[in-house]
Amino acid sequence: MNIIIARDGAVRFIYSDALAGLLSKGEARTARASHVEPGPGGWFADLAPVRGPKLGPFGLRQEALDAEVRWLTAHEIPVPGAGGSQHANVDG
């Protein structure tokens, strides 16, 4: 679980019910960073909303979710539609 605090004080993280309380501490915006869905040959994590790749196929949905979180974390949780130059709370 990563929580990133930007220089301007904005906090971003991959949503988890364990962190839901953070959303009540100030102004919050939640945005979808990807879509994990079944497709030909298995499960896919499509990171197009953050201009990322389509990962997969994976045999299990959880494998696709894990790959999604690894990619988002490695890329500092980019904001959907921002071309990776801005950040926000992201629901994966």
Segment 12-47, tens digit of pLDDT: 888 888 877 777 777 878 888 899 999 999 999 999
pLDDT band at 1 (very low <50, low <70, confident <90, very high): low
43-91 pLDDT, tens digit each: 999 999 999 999 999 999 999 999 999 999 999 888 787 654 333 344 4
Contact 21, 11 (CB under 8 A): no
Q: Which of 51, 60, 10 is nearest to 33 (CA)?
A: 51
The pLDDT value recorded for residue 74 is 94
Pairing of strands 42-46, 54-58: antiparallel
Q: Helices in the chain by DSSP H: which ranges?
A: 61-74
